[in-house]
Structure 1
């Protein structure tokens, strides 16, 4: 049985991380005048994402996405090539108009993730950023046309890669969202 491909940056094993990673430059796919976005510091909550909104390289079933504080994101070159993919979406995904790569996606609305920007770490020129630690929105790949009968195999492959599959976010992030919502709604802490 052939191995199920998840994403090029995880299928052949993870790259070495560097605890002292100080950030790097994300680069789109354009051979001429690529968009370059600087991320200061390391990323957090890196994960494989099956949602139908995240950018995926050709042939990938999942995206690989992480977050960084928006104040650590700076467009360095060719920002005029960026456009928001869906202005109504929570994540304002800024993609290159020429190659389609999503470069960064800030959360600007009142939400637990407000102030964060979603980025695709495989676009870093530099090596050493944190590796993916889980898989989110796994069932959502069906919405993009994946065969539901093959989902057990997908989950097994994710576990082989040490990416625990969830059909939402991992428990820590879900607890964070619920805690933020409770506080916002005035629910007293226990």
Structure 2
């Protein structure tokens, strides 16, 4: 099963996580005039994502995506190269118009994730960011053309890598969404 291409950061083994990681600079794939985005502080909820919206490296079945508070995201260089991929989407994915890498995606409308930005931590220049801890929207890779007959192998490989596969988000994030909704609707204080 190890020949399966999930994502380069997963397939080649995780880099060591550093408990003192305090953020860094995300860099797009352009050879010159790269877009650079500073993330202050650590990331959270890092995971492999099988959805069809997230940016993935060439040949990867999954993206690696985490969140950071939007207030901790700052475009440092070449911001004029950024454009929102889908203005109607919940996550306003800002991608480099030249290389296509998604640099950050804030959630700005009323939603449990409002105030967070989605980032692809493998784009950090620095090492030590939190490793992925689960896999989300696993069955969505079928929508990208992945053979449905091979999904058992995908889930087995993810589990082998200690990435529990979900066809939604992790239980902690689903609880967070449900709690936010209950509070918004007055069901919980």
Range class of TM-score, shorter chain: over 0.9
1:1-190 matches, within 5 Å, as 3-188=3-188
Shift of residue 71, structure 1, vs aligned partner: 0.5
TM-score (norm 1): 0.98
TM-score normalised per structure 2: 0.98
Give the superposition deviation at 1:4.
1.3
**Offset of 1:5 from its aligned partner?**
1.3
Q: Is the 8 A contact 2:2 2:11 kept in 1?
A: no
Mapped partners of 1:36, 1:27: distance in 2: 5
The 3 A distance-change label for structure 1 pair 2 and 26 is closer
How far 1:2 sits from its partner (Å)? 5.9
- 1:77-96 deviations in Å (ceiling 9; x for gaps): 00000000000000000000
What is the aligned residue count? 189
SS of aligned partner of 1:118: strand
Q: Distance in 1 between matches of 2:83 and 2:38?
A: 17
Q: CA separation of 1:187/1:2 partners in 2, compared to 1, >3 Å: closer, same or farther?
A: closer
- Equivalent pair of 2:38/2:74 in contact (CA under 8 Å): yes
For the 8 Å contact 2:179–2:188, the answer to whether it is kept is no
Q: Distance in 2 between matches of 1:126 and 1:135?
A: 23
Mark the runs of 5 or more structure 2 residues left unpaired by the alignment: none
* Structure 1 runs (4+) greater than 3 angstroms displaced: none
Distance 2:12 2:141 in 1: 21
SS at match of 1:30: coil
* Aligned-partner SS, 2:71: helix
The RMSD of aligned alpha carbons is: 0.9
Structure-1 separation of matches of 2:138 and 2:37: 28
Distance 1:98 1:10 in 2: 26
